[in-house]
Amino acid sequence: MTKKLIVGNWKMNPGTVAEARRIAGKVKRAAVRLEHTEAVVCPPFPYILPCVPRRPVGNFCVGAQTVSAEAGGGPHTGEVGAAMLKDLGVSYVIVGHSEQRAMGDTGVTVGKKVKNVLEAGLTPIVCVGESARDPEGAYLENLKGQIKECLGDMPKKYGREIIIAYEPVWAIGAKEAMAPEQIYEMSLFVKKVLADIFTPEAGVKTTVLYGGSVNFRNAPDIMRVGKVDGLLVGRESVNVSGFVELLKAVDQI
Ligand code: PGA
């Protein structure tokens, strides 16, 4: 059985490196006691190194929140390359989060970032999701288009190495998560699109996460009824007691 994957996206939090260390330390101590779940924390770049354990810790990994679309080094002021992240001890990279897309990421740049992450030997967590729902259901075609735009040209060999985080934009930072029954439908839809792009096997086996207003209370139902392989958690990931509760609850499912 593959482990459930719980990814904490800290966004532009917390305010100090001391607080980052404290949160990561608590998550690490909780992670070693998990049996069927892997915990990933994705701090802002300056906190990555202080959060990476000196020796490997069971069920605990560090991720990054974005990466440069540029490959290799060079004159790219302010950019951080995938190989640099790998060198720091990062395992996963979130790519194409809607907040990054709102700041300029496009299907093309997301595709380049995914390739750079894979070529560095890291695992991309590619965020996709509709910004609104229309009664006619055009959002399904839009979502399919969004996935094809960033992954359509990806070599087939990468089919199983990409993680998808389905995050309906309207459910991010909202009061409530999407209903678990709908999450189930949407995760099946995402898997079908992946089967079209890659192989039927990739469609079945790809890890699909749900993200958008997940907390320790709604996480068990989202996992059970939504039948996703894991969660991408924003606000609750820097509320460390809630995040640890969430990890324990999901581990027991
Ligand atoms: P949220 O954020 O859990 O605060 O809704 C999720 C995300 O943006 O990944």
Atom of ligand 1 nearest to the CA of 172: 5
Alpha-carbon radius of gyration of the chain: 17
Task: Give the pLDDT score at 131.
Answer: 92
What is the 210 CA–ligand 1 centroid distance (Å)? 10
What local confidence, expressed as pLDDT, does residue 51 receive? 98
Q: Is the CB of 8 under 6 A from ligand 1?
A: no
Q: Which of 243, 159, 227, 236 minimizes the C-alpha distance to 194?
A: 159
Q: Is 167 part of the annotated catalytic residue set?
A: yes
Its pTM stands at 0.97
- 167 CB under 6 A from ligand 1? yes
Looking at residue 74, its amino acid is G
Q: How far apart are CA 101 and CA 81, in angstroms?
A: 18
The whole-number pLDDT of residue 159 equals: 86
Rounded alpha-carbon distances, angstroms, from residue 68 to 32, 34, 43, 91, 229: 32, 33, 16, 16, 27
* Element containing residue 123 per DSSP (H, E): strand 123-128
Which residue CA neighbors atom 9 of ligand 1 most closely? 234
pLDDT (0 to 100) of residue 137: 86
Ligand 1 centre and the CA of 250: distance in Å?
Answer: 17
Q: How many Cβ atoms are within 10 Å of 154's Cβ, its own excluded?
A: 19
36 catalytic? Reply is no
> Of the listed 167, 181, 201, 245, which one is catalytic?
167
Which burial class, exposed, middle or buried, applies to 176 when counting CB atoms under 10 A from its CB (0-12, 13-18, 19+)?
exposed
Distance (angstroms) between ligand 1 centre and the Cα of 120 equals 26
C-alpha 171 – ligand 1 centre gap (Å): 8
* pLDDT computed for residue 1 by the predictor: 64
pLDDT, mean of each 10-residue run, the chain (253 residues): 94 98 98 98 98 95 98 95 98 98 96 97 98 91 95 89 97 97 97 94 93 98 98 98 98 96
Strand-pair category, 4-9 with 230-233: parallel
Mutate to test the pocket of ligand 1, among 40, 235, 237 (most ligand atoms within 8 A of CB): 235
User: How does strand 92-95 pair with strand 123-128?
Assistant: parallel
